[in-house]
């Protein structure tokens, strides 16, 4: 129903935000899955899986995160210009993405370090951090789609 009364100029930033959010969620889940798979394999294959997780994080997660965050700010500025009061569901998205940027950076640094060493203790941190962020993204996803509390 809201889509019927939404101005047409909001379509592009909203589409880009949803595209970036979907890619961010998928890339983060992929990094988590590859990280966990790399924990249980022989050393040569585990190293390959960790390198693949790092590459996906760097080449897919980072650009999709930037797209999601930039488009979110774009649509928020169109929908709530100036200092207008934003709804709680929008605040949840910003609460998840702002510290999430730091988490993604830390996760990528750890993934880079673990991709260079065979028996690194940092190896287990990457999939757990990615899993934690997948859960946070799922909470934001729920808040954005269900809009609890109006």
List the domain boundaries for the chain: 10-146
Q: Which of 5-14, 15-24, 46-55, 101-110 has the lowest mean pLDDT?
A: 5-14
Could you tell me if residue 86 is left (phi over 0), alpha (psi between -120 and 50 degrees) or otherwise beta? beta
Taking residues 57-69, report their average pLDDT: 97
What is the model's pLDDT at position 1?
Answer: 42
E strand residue ranges, the chain: none
CA–CA dist 1, 22 (Å, integer): 22
Instruction: Please answer whether residues 111 and 72 qualify as being in contact, where contact means their C-beta atoms are separated by less than 8 angstroms.
Output: no
Instruction: Please answer whether residues 71 and 93 qualify as being in contact, where contact means their C-beta atoms are separated by less than 8 angstroms.
Output: no
80 or 26: which leads in pLDDT: 26
pLDDT higher than 90, residue 126: yes
CA 40 to chain centre: 25
Q: Which two tokens stand for residue 123?
A: 């190896």
pLDDT higher than 70, residue 70: yes
Name the range with the highest mean pLDDT among 5-9, 34-38, 77-81.
34-38
Q: How high does pLDDT run on average in the chain? A: 88
């Amino acid at each position: 129903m809201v889509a019927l009364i939404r101005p047409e100029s909001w379509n592009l930033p909203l589409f880009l935000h949803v595209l970036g959010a979907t890619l961010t969620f998928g890339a983060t889940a992929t990094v988590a899955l590859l990280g966990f798979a790399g924990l249980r394999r022989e050393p040569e294959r585990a190293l390959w899986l960790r390198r693949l997780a790092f590459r996906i994080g760097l080449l897919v997660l980072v650009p999709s995160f930037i797209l999601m965050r930039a488009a979110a700010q774009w649509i928020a500025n169109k929908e709530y210009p100036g200092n207008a009061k934003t709804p709680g569901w929008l605040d949840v998205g910003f609460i998840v993405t702002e510290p999430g940027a730091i988490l993604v950076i830390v996760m990528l640094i750890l993934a880079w370090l673990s991709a260079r060493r065979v028996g690194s203790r940092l190896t287990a941190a990457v999939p757990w951090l990615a899993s934690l962020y997948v859960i946070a993204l799922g909470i934001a996803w729920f808040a954005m789609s269900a809009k609890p509390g109006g």
